[in-house]
Amino acid sequence: MSWIEEIDREDADEKLKPIYDDLIKSRGKISNILKVHSLNPDALKAHLDLYMAIMFGKSGLTRQERECIAVVVSRADNCEYCVNHHAESLSRYIKDECLLEQIKQDYSQASLPKRLMSICHYAHKLTTKPGQQSQQDLILLKQQGLSDKDILDMTLIVAYFNFVNRIALGLGVAFNAEELSGYKDEPS
């Protein structure tokens, strides 16, 4: 739920209903962050297409790395909705509850492999100090085995989560334990 009007599935028109139906088929349910787009089905569709391409598309980044980026960016933006949603997804790849909590609160204090720590540093810096990025930041990533395509994918994910955090924060998108759980991890 949010601070603006949202259209429920049973009230969806011929343009919105197929999008909702596809979400339920592929993800198991409709998240509040997507439902908040219901007044603009074209934007919802474009949002979904971008999300699927960067979070589930072919990439040298693992799903764990992608979800870690989501959590790090969302924490930097103080977006509890996205921190919690993507920490839930990250828990499928990181089984250590203490480590997961460290990533949620302050990734820089977590014992992460060097490559993942470098990815998190890049995501955090691009979120908090975008004007201070330099070519040196990319050189450091390449030293961890990341390709130009991987770096592009990372940058797209960081930018996406800065975008979606502002939707959640700007429109008051809420969550609870029920809303956080029960999603299919790999869409069909």
In order, the DSSP letters of 151-167 are: HHHHHHHHHHHHHHHHH
What are the residues whose beta carbons fall under 8 Å from the beta carbon of 94, sequence distance 6 or more? 64, 100, 103
How sure is the predictor about 143, in pLDDT bands with cuts at 50, 70 and 90? very high
How sure is the predictor about 184, in pLDDT bands with cuts at 50, 70 and 90? low
Amino acid at 95: K
Tokens of 55: 């979070």
How sure is the predictor about 188, in pLDDT bands with cuts at 50, 70 and 90? very low
Using only C-alpha atoms, the chain has a radius of gyration, in whole angstroms, of 17
Task: Read off the pLDDT of residues 32-57 as tens digits, 9 standing for 90 and up.
Answer: 999 999 999 999 999 999 999 999 99
* H and E: helices and strands count for the chain: 10, 0
Q: Is 40 left (phi over 0), alpha (psi -120 to 50) or beta?
A: beta
pLDDT of residue 93: 95
Total residues found in the chain within this entry:
188
C-alpha 173/C-alpha 82 separation (Å) is 10
Domains by residue range for the chain, with CATH: 9-56 (no CATH), 63-180 (1.20.1290.10)
Q: Read off the pTM.
A: 0.93
**Closest among 156, 179, 155 to 168, alpha carbons compared:** 179
Residue 172: DSSP 8-state:
T
